[in-house]
Amino acid sequence: MSTAVQTAVVGVTGYAGAELARLLVRHPRLKGATPIFAGRMNASPDVHDQARGGVTLSEIHPQLQDSHGTGSLRVQPFSWELLEDLGVEVLFLATPHELSREAVPEARKRGLRVIDLSGAWRLEEATNRAVYRFEDEGSATALATQAEAVYGMPELHRHAIREAGLVANPGCYATSVILALKPLLAAGLVDLSHGIICDSKSGVSGAGKAPVAKTHFMYAADNLSAYGVFSHRHTGELLEQLEVDGETLTFTPHLLPIPRGILSTIYVRFVEPQTNASIEACYGDFFKGSPMVRLYGTTLPQIQYSVRTCYADIGFNLSKDGHRAVIVSCLDNLLKGAAGQAVQNLNVMQGWGEAEGLE
């Protein structure tokens, strides 16, 4: 059981980065070790920012200004020497995939434990990683780094996460679908010959902070649109973690005209008829000791229940004959789908209570 650990965050300017900063600064275990916030990698820092030690968090995210002085913490120009001089032990990367591919091998070489929020190291299979078109794919360094990466979903891999040097934080859509399906698949209840349909919807913050045409207000407002059909980057995570193939599972994401939150509606058929009690028992047994999953039984969760929380909410309804189920899974894409899950992984790595700083 460890005490305070010195953490650092690179990539604090985005939506998930802001949530990560908020959670870490207020984490009860980190009161004696204020997180370090570093600016962009591979960028020449502004001379004025260098002179004054970096911009403050409140200049980037005004909502972080509070009575605890969070907003006055500075985002310092990044360097590996800075992290070393300040005694950083755990590095959070809320950076683009390509930057994480460069940064993680260097961080590991320097003895840092890494929690990476990007998709750079989530996928074990080269065929699934192909969607990212990584320039270093197949190199000795990339293969060695990938080999030590642990998929950062504590509900599935907490024992491996505890000793991991590199934790690859899951995608937000993937988290909502995997948590809803894994208990049923692990118990052998699902008839895979009938296929699984995952219909997921996310708020626009899931696309990141950089403006693009499809997240522009004039496109997203008063609209609902499907995208990434048969090609979304999170599909590989679903296939690997659920241990099914692409012919069995159909995943379609949609863009909701709301700022944040995910709702996944999942359709399955069972090998044998089930009852409400048998499905509740299946979920209850699987998630025993998993404080960040809330089970709603036959009450279907809604985005408004989980938004701005670090919980994943799961509920289901059975058909009258017990052969089919509709499962609804909700979470906040910036919290349980990103920053909250990253802090949950920190808790596991340090041997702290899994829900500390998250409830």
Helix, strand, coil tally for the chain in percent (to 5):
40, 20, 40
CA distance 59 to 78: 17
In sequence order, what are the residues at sequence separation of 6 or more whose Cβ sits closer than 8 angstroms to the Cβ of residue 277? none
Are the C-beta atoms of residues 72 and 95 closer than 8 Å to each other? no
Q: How far apart are CA 261 and CA 206, in angstroms?
A: 8
Among 134, 117, 150, smallest CA distance to 18 is for 117
Among all residues, which ones are annotated catalytic? 172
Beta bridge partners of 6: none
Q: Among residues 261, 357, 289, which one has the least CA distance to residue 5?
A: 357
Structure tokens at 204: 């626009």
Helix (H) or strand (E) holding 168: strand 166-168
Residues in the chain: 359
Element of type H or E holding 36: strand 36-38
Residues 6+ apart with CB under 8 A from 103: 10, 41, 93, 95
Contact 156, 287 (CB under 8 A): no
